[in-house]
Chain A
Amino acid sequence: EAAVTQSPRNKVTVTGGNVTLSCRQTNSHNYMYWYRQDTGHGLRLIHYSYGAGNLQIGDVPDGYKATRTTQEDFFLLLELASPSQTSLYFCASSDVGSQNTLYFGAGTRLSVL
């Protein structure tokens, strides 16, 4: 099964702080995604990428930057964290060969105080 690893698993920061969430996939998938999950909202797409150096905007991009440095690595950056960004963040990968099935990492729980 596809392997997607996220770090850290938990993170606490203060309002205005700088946070980087990391994601690595080892399945040679072209597509990688960042979602946030909040009660009552399901999963909402923040950013996604179809290859190194590429970035596409999702449905809730405000306050987030992302960077895909290699095929394996996708980072989510919060440069001025706000309490509204307290959430559970999931990274996922997919590809044509997997019929666009998303393979999710274990998630990062972020608290912004």
Chain B
Amino acid sequence: QQKVQQSPESLIVPEGGMASLNCTSSDRNVDYFWWYRQHSGKSPKMLMSIFSNGEKEEGRFTVHLNKASLHTSLHIRDSQPSDSALYLCAASTPSGSWQLIFGSGTQLTVMP
């Protein structure tokens, strides 16, 4: 069983809409989460990271973290076709801080 689980597997939203992606870890030792974005045919690039409870906003992107439930979510407002990509969640623990564990990703499609 994967230690980092993402949902949904795929998501279609209209241009200008809100996309919400979820990620949960089953490892109680996880203390840091990352979100990476991978456009088709390209390599993953880090989008945002979070380790404190609460939320963090950067432009149209907002990340939430609930450390008690080990759940993080990524919200994209005013979604654009260029946001269409595979979104990967990753987590690490204090003892393995250099060893990121990735989820299987959410494929986001933004329809014009």
Contacts and interface: CB of A to CB of B under 8 A. Distances in A.
B100 A40 contact: no
A10 B6 CA distance: 29
A74 interface: no
User: How many interface residues does chain B have, given as a range?
Assistant: 20 to 34
B49 A45 contact: no
Contacts of B88: 42-43
Interface stretch (B13-21, B54-62, B71-79, B101-109): B101-109
A6 to B, nearest CB: 9
A56 B45 CA distance: 23
Contacts of B105: 42
B104 A41 contact: yes
Interface string B1-43: 0101010000000000000000000000000101010000011
Contact of A90 (B4, B43, B46): B43
Which among A31, A42, A45, A50 has the highest number of chain B CB atoms within 10 Å? Answer: A42
Interface in A61-103: 90, 94, 99-102
A99 B32 CA distance: 11
B100 A99 contact: no
B65 to A, nearest CB: 16
Interface stretch (A11-19, A20-28, A104-112): A104-112
Nearest to B4: A42
Interface of A: 31, 35, 40-45, 48, 50, 56, 58-59, 90, 94, 99-102, 104-107
CB-CB nearest 4 A-B residue pairs: A104-B43, A42-B104, A43-B102, A42-B102
23 contacts: A31-B98, A41-B104, A42-B103, A42-B104, A43-B44, A43-B88, A43-B90, A44-B102, A45-B101, A50-B98, A56-B99, A59-B101, A94-B98, A100-B97, A101-B34, A102-B36, A102-B44, A104-B43, A104-B45, A105-B43, A106-B42, A106-B43, A107-B43
